[in-house]
Amino acid sequence: MSANPFLAWLAVLVFDTCGQLAFKAATHHAEGEGLARWRAMAAQPWLWLGIAAFIAEFIAWLAFLSLVPLAEGVLLATLNMATVMLGGRLLFGERLTPRRMAGVALIAAGVILVGVG
């Protein structure tokens, strides 16, 4: 990851997106309720892949923030919302309706404002 802010940002984007999609995949491949459901999720790789991606993202995020100011970091990280949405469309057939896109865009704009403020 060295001292390249672009690479650190890319790592945050990739790990965050993969992690979210892996968590969603984990819930697809599990039967049962409660503890049995968690046992079923723990028995296949998706949940662990998601957790590994989450840890990697955390480290990449710390590296990224050590290279850019917080406001810029938050600004660039909101792109994750778009990639997770796109990934949900491609992998799970989630619909990209105008209202969903508007809602996510409003949230992203809000997160950016809080980060800048």
Q: Which residues bind other proteins (CB under 8 A)?
A: 20-21, 23-24, 26-27, 41, 80-81, 84-89, 92-97, 99-100, 102-117
Taking the complex as a whole, the smallest distance from the CB of residue 10 to other proteins amounts, in Å, to 18
116, 71 Cβ separation under 8 angstroms = yes
13, 83 Cβ separation under 8 angstroms = yes
> How many whole angstroms separate alpha carbon 9 and alpha carbon 14?
9
Taking the complex as a whole, the smallest distance from the CB of residue 51 to other proteins amounts, in Å, to 9
Taking the complex as a whole, the smallest distance from the CB of residue 8 to other proteins amounts, in Å, to 19
Amino acid sitting at position 57: E
